[in-house]
Amino acid sequence: MGEATPKGVAYRILESRWQEWKDLKPVRIREELEKYGVVISRQRAHQLKQQIVNQKEKVKE
C-alpha cells in the first residue's frame, strides 16, 4: 500500500461526513478538513466535492 496522500485522506473524510457537509461551500469544507490535519486548496476541495456528487448520482441510476 502507498502512503496516504492529503487528497486521498480528504476524500475519505469528506465521503464519511457527506451527510453533514454536502451543503458546505468548498472553503468551509477546507476549514473542516484542516481540523483533521488535512491541508488542501479550495480548488481541490471543490474537485473532491464534485467527485463525490458525481459518484452519488451514479449510485442513484
Its pTM stands at: 0.81
pLDDT at 6 exceeding the cut of 60: yes
What are the residue ranges spanned by the domains of the chain?
A: 6-60
Cell 486548496, located at residue? 41
Amino acid at 19: Q
pLDDT tens sequence across 13-58: 999 999 999 999 999 999 999 999 999 999 999 999 999 999 988 8
Compute the CA torsion angle 43, 50, 10, 44 (nearest 10 deg).
-10
Assess contact for 10 and 33: CB atoms under 8 A. Answer: yes
Going by pLDDT thresholds of 50, 70 and 90, the confidence category of residue 2 is low
pLDDT at 1 exceeding the cut of 70: no
Cα gap 6→40, rounded to integer Å: 7
